[in-house]
Structure 1
């Protein structure tokens, strides 16, 4: 039986007593999130959305790294990288470097399939070039993604499993041993109807169109089809997440475990789809603790 860790409100030491009093965050609350400016902005392509933001802690490294990938239903409509600065600022204050990834979404020129996946791959692998100069410890890396970014974070950590015919395939991608999905939507086949109802996105917009050479469009786009990836996946969902409910994480974890991978499912008491990414939310104590755990920090 799948074990689900429910951080109950009686365990106030984890979530804080404010968890029972704070109202779940709304989309408007999420869109208002922001943080400090990054220390560096690094382009990995010529398109306006092909860049990463580096948030560095004070002091001397090497620093553990969070690869942070925003959501927003794979569209430019719902913000993204600016809202992730809220998390990034707090993590940098904890001594953790953050690699905040922007990418071309399905409604941008060159986005969708395969451009969106190629962008994420390039952005992640750029870490290998920047690690020494920016004092980044590539032995301590975790991918963290929210919503659509949960899909892309899980994909990024699993892409060593890509078939060689995929346009996003590269030799020796950066190893990422664990991934934290915050309200993720990573099983594009199983969750097609949920993605349609929650995000108004069709499979073709995210995974491309089938062809004689590529009859199954999920094989190089859906992390669920790339199992076993030999990574550990933590799937975190707010109690009141109606975009990607807890059952979504449960279903993915069952598939991962059946394939031989390890997976943990956590519920954020009182949290919505947006509390999952806000350092100002009571849920942040749980989320940040999982990030620190994945990086081997106390």
Structure 2
């Protein structure tokens, strides 16, 4: 009986705190909540970023080295994060166990949009930031790319923030035009973590993880390397290679004779064979020793978009660097994880619950 009374008291205090925070003057970058926002939507909170999370830890700085090249993981580790100003827009989706909202937040001085899923109840809940895979920015829409994962995790008690990235949906344009080798997207994911923590909603700040798919898997690697200790764990599905040159050869080199982003990257940076120092500096694999969190990798053995040998090489390199890593491979599964999606998510759920 005493335990139930204590739980009820904690819930009441949390709800009162959320109500109080909803009346604070808004100091963040971003639009006012949409007119169609549900009256039951979570409130927006303070825009202040988590202190101390914006600068690299000694382990990251020591491993990454000289940040003088602005397009590098070393430079990203030195960049001040400004994530905050999470603004709740209209309710767009939900289930019997959670609600989803269009949101925006601040990242690198830009307005970045996303989709937030919040479980029913007072919380506080563990949280996950999702990093989606590549979708042509001109056709991408809000929350696209990891809709299954967002709903699945929210139904099981996680607050889930899906970052659209700069240049996607209603986010501000990408200042690099796509030529910064995904470092801006990584910054947006890192700032999404800070935006969740500065929000007055039911998030347990000490229990946050990153989950990425395909290109988003590489973004998760970058985030764990440049800001170790920011989250508690990382999970990736069908990730790209941890060597930037292999990704270039697979996805960008074929379009060098067109006006695509591959040609723009070469004009700005040179191909990997022309500028190996820069391409090493944006590759995760040489810097795995900076990672302090456990990593779970899922990969289908029939994946012909991101070959499973990439994840095998990544897992070997992580183990050699002292990272706690588990690689799960799925017989007959392709890049999109269709038949074995639920199985892979059950593995993910056990991993997250054990680490968070």
When the two structures are superposed, what TM-score results if normalisation uses the length of structure 1?
0.68
Distance (whole Å) between structure 2 residues aligned to residue 130 and residue 238 of structure 1: 31
Structure 1 position 97, deviation (Å): 1.1
Distance (whole Å) between structure 1 residues aligned to residue 93 and residue 332 of structure 2: 23
What is the aligned counterpart of 2:115 among 38, 44, 53?
Answer: 53
Distance (whole Å) between structure 2 residues aligned to residue 104 and residue 125 of structure 1: 12
Structure 2 partner of 1:23 = none
* RMSD of equivalent CA atoms: 3.6
Distance (whole Å) between structure 1 residues aligned to residue 213 and residue 149 of structure 2: 11
Structure 1 position 123, deviation (Å): 4.2
Q: Contact 1:187–1:222 at 8 Å: present in 2 too?
A: yes
Partner SS state of residue 312, structure 2: helix
Distance (whole Å) between structure 2 residues aligned to residue 105 and residue 154 of structure 1: 21
Q: Deviations over 1:130-187 (max 9, x none)?
A: 43511212322221111111111111122127xxxxxxxxxxxx61232111111132
Distance 1:198 1:71, change over 3 A: farther
Distance (whole Å) between structure 1 residues aligned to residue 149 and residue 195 of structure 2: 24
Q: Contact 1:236–1:266 at 8 Å: present in 2 too?
A: yes
Aligned runs of 1:64-213 on 2, under 5 Å? 64-72=126-134, 75-76=136-137, 79=140, 81-104=143-166, 109-110=174-175, 111-114=177-180, 116-131=182-197, 133-160=200-227, 175-185=230-240, 186-196=242-252, 202=262, 205=265, 209=269
Distance (whole Å) between structure 2 residues aligned to residue 257 and residue 178 of structure 1: 16
Distance 1:148 1:44, change over 3 A: same
Structure 2 partner of 1:287 = 345
Instruction: Structure 1: give runs of 5+ residues left out of the alignment.
Output: 1-33, 162-173
Q: Contact 1:112–1:208 at 8 Å: present in 2 too?
A: no
Q: Contact 2:243–2:280 at 8 Å: present in 1 too?
A: no
Distance (whole Å) between structure 2 residues aligned to residue 199 and residue 125 of structure 1: 31
1:232 aligned onto 2:290: no
What is the aligned counterpart of 2:277 among 207, 216, 240?
Answer: 216
Structure 1 position 202, deviation (Å): 4.1
What is the aligned counterpart of 2:125 among 63, 71, 94?
Answer: 63
Structure 1 position 47, deviation (Å): 6.0
Structure 1 position 102, deviation (Å): 1.2
Partner SS state of residue 227, structure 1: helix
Structure 1 partner of 2:53 = none
1:248 aligned onto 2:314: no
Instruction: Structure 2: give runs of 5+ residues left out of the alignment.
Output: 1-91
Aligned runs of 1:7-26 on 2, under 5 Å? none
Distance (whole Å) between structure 2 residues aligned to residue 206 and residue 136 of structure 1: 42
Larger radius of gyration: 2
Distance 1:86 1:220, change over 3 A: same
Distance (whole Å) between structure 1 residues aligned to residue 329 and residue 118 of structure 2: 30
Structure 1 position 41, deviation (Å): 0.6
Partner SS state of residue 230, structure 1: coil
Structure 1 partner of 2:55 = none
Q: Contact 1:219–1:226 at 8 Å: present in 2 too?
A: no
Distance 1:120 1:283, change over 3 A: same
Distance (whole Å) between structure 1 residues aligned to residue 296 and residue 254 of structure 2: 22
Distance (whole Å) between structure 1 residues aligned to residue 208 and residue 254 of structure 2: 30
Structure number with higher relative contact order (C-alpha < 8 Å, ≥ 6 residues apart)? 1
Aligned residues: 244
Structure 1 position 253, deviation (Å): 0.9
Structure 2 partner of 1:5 = none
Q: Contact 2:119–2:154 at 8 Å: present in 1 too?
A: yes
